[in-house]
Amino acid sequence: MAKSTSTRRRRASRELVDAKQAVDLATAQSYSENVFLFVPNLIGYTRVIMAGLSLHYMSYHPIYCTLLYGFSCLLDAVDGQAARALKQTSKFGAVLDMVTDRCTTSCLLCYLSAAYPDYSILFQFLIALDFSSHYMHMYSSLVTGSTSHKLVTSDVSRILWLYYNDSRTLFFVCAGNELFFVSLYLMKWTVTPSGLPFLEDWTYPQIMACPTFLVFLLKNVINLVQLWKASKILVGVDLAERAAARAAAASKKLDSDSS
């Protein structure tokens, strides 16, 4: 009962501001309390710029591309810490962060689809899975009144709880997944063997791709779990709303018959 009450309160607080009010508030916000200028959001804009520059260099300068892409990804771990330290967490920042992650990775996967045409259908599937998984997860969080898509309880999904509850795990999985894609990208540019013992004929990107491949598999298993759990949550909300509508209709009919 307490849980459902708190959920209703969260929904009620969210519904106090409609779209027009929100636009007016954003337009009239002062410099001292301008969400667009929050430090973590400024970091987010920097990530977007660096990601855009990395895409510019992607087809002809792998060093610049890799450095810019890597720094953009590393800043993903900084903006959240800055938001908590400065008490500047925001819904805009959370969505900006997620959209930047999805778009940056998808652009790299588009390049890999062209670089490895035999595997283009796989890269297209990964883009679709990444977007659909995170969109449905975000939407299911909103309709159930959660204040953040990262607030997943263990009774909903232990895998997602372990993934989102520990920032170190989240960083390790996301970084390992990106490193695998970057390794595939650099494999197209690097032909010089590493010369390392037992791996003399392997390039450094090929060596890096081996351990990060396991993290890549884990990340996409998590995406599948996230998509399935979000689908079940949305279906559960549909069933609850349909049951409530039937109960309301039955109550209305009963009142009508009694009168």
Residue among 223, 210, 202 at smallest CA distance from 180:
210
116: which DSSP letter?
S
Taking the alpha carbons of 176, 179, 180, 181 in that order, is the dihedral positive or negative?
positive
Q: Backbone phi, then psi, for 235, in 5-degree steps?
A: -65, -40
Q: What is the dihedral of CA 132, 138, 141, 145, to 10 degrees?
A: -140
Q: Is 24 a catalytic residue?
A: no
- d(C-alpha 11, C-alpha 21), whole Å: 17
Strand partners, 199: 196
Contact 186, 64 (CB under 8 A): no
Q: Which of 76, 79, 97, 101 is catalytic?
A: 101
Please identify every residue annotated as catalytic.
101
